Amino acid sequence: MDEWEQYFAENPAPRGYDVSCAQLEAFCQLHVNRNPIALVTSGGTTVPFERNTVRYVDNFSAGTRGAASTEYFLAHGYAVIFLHREKSVTPFLRHLDPRFLLDALQEVPGGLLQLSSVHSSQRVKSESRLLWLTFQTLSDYLWLLRAATQCLQQRAPKALLYLAAAVSDFYIPQDKMAEHKIQSGAGPLTVTLHLVPKMLSPLVSVWGPELFVVSFKLETDEKKLIEKATGSLRKYKHDLVIGNLLQTRREEVTFVTEKESSLLRLMEHQKAEKTEIEKLIVEEVVTRHRNFIKY
């Protein structure tokens, strides 16, 4: 058994998994001959310490990139499966400032409150082209990622995968995980995190070999970024790696393919106009995906 198969054998599917699979199936069937389909992954995965989880390891990702990109894909006519971390940033709602939320609500018959039409029109129009799926832990994420990839491969094999989630490289295997809350009475805690099998490998070669796969590579050391992005592309043989640095990810990214590597950077006037880098990233990805669909 491969390491990744072992991982799925040892880590149970998330609650509601069958319902998510049915939703994926219905969504893909509905859109396959109508709209291009994109799977956007977004936000960070958690790694629990205990099975009855009180504590977990998390990462920095708020899900801004995935949520913003989803809006731009919808604007380009895509149907989007938005696989995101619970309570992370979400498309459209991210524009609402909680301090002014009450201004965006209007009363409707029955004493209920709903978003006023100004705020909801774009959302409502896009709603039928948007499927929301959530994860919390690394394991939830991997189960749903595999299900979505396999469903797209079967129903819409030219679909786009846009993997912007920040996925943990480390985890605690089920048989090493405490059942109940770890007690501090036992003294300082030493935890060994094990390596997660590299899932891009089966994703590209087994689950979705015909899909257009775009992954993101995050680094903090500028000197390592291109080398690591190129290494990932050579190893997994997918279509595009978008490299970004933690410190500058809102202003610039580098597109790395087998043939070239090109910098995409917001210009001064775009920054002044508050253009989001995701708008430029999605424009470029859509162009490449359209070319891919033609052949």
Contacts with ligand PAZ, residue ranges (CB under 6 A):
61-65, 164, 166-167, 216-218, 244, 249
Considering the complex, what minimum distance in angstroms separates the CB of residue 71 from ligand PAZ? 13
Select 31 or 84, whichever has its Cβ closest to ligand PAZ.
84
Considering the complex, what minimum distance in angstroms separates the CB of residue 9 from ligand PAZ? 24
Select 47 or 218, whichever has its Cβ closest to ligand PAZ.
218
Our CA dihedral for 129, 133, 138, 143, rounded to 10 degrees, sits at -90
Select 228 or 237, whichever has its Cβ closest to ligand PAZ.
228
Considering the complex, what minimum distance in angstroms separates the CB of residue 107 from ligand PAZ? 35
Q: What's the per-residue H, E or C state across 48-113?
A: ECECCCCCEECCCCCCHHHHHHHHHHHHCCCEEEEEEECCCCCCCHHHCCHHHHHHHEEEECCCEE
Select 158 or 279, whichever has its Cβ closest to ligand PAZ.
279
Q: Are strands 170-171 and 160-163 parallel, antiparallel or unpaired?
A: unpaired
Considering the complex, what minimum distance in angstroms separates the CB of residue 244 from ligand PAZ? 5
CB atoms closer than 10 angstroms to residue 276? 17
Considering the complex, what minimum distance in angstroms separates the CB of residue 235 from ligand PAZ? 14
Spell out the residues 6+ positions from residue 171 whose beta carbon is closer than 8 angstroms to its own.
47, 138, 139, 193, 194, 196
Considering the complex, what minimum distance in angstroms separates the CB of residue 295 from ligand PAZ? 27
Select 94 or 237, whichever has its Cβ closest to ligand PAZ.
94
Considering the complex, what minimum distance in angstroms separates the CB of residue 89 from ligand PAZ? 7
Select 61 or 139, whichever has its Cβ closest to ligand PAZ.
61
Select 65 or 129, whichever has its Cβ closest to ligand PAZ.
65
Spell out the residues 6+ positions from residue 205 whose beta carbon is closer than 8 angstroms to its own.
237
Alpha-helical (H) ranges within the chain are 3-10, 17-31, 64-75, 117-127, 138-155, 200-202, 222-236, 268-272, 277-294
Select 63 or 91, whichever has its Cβ closest to ligand PAZ.
63
CA distance 18 to 21: 5
- Which residue's structure tokens are 């390891």? 57
CA distance 290 to 94: 28
Q: Residue 38 in 3-state DSSP? A: strand
Considering the complex, what minimum distance in angstroms separates the CB of residue 65 from ligand PAZ? 3
The total number of residues shown for the chain amounts to: 295
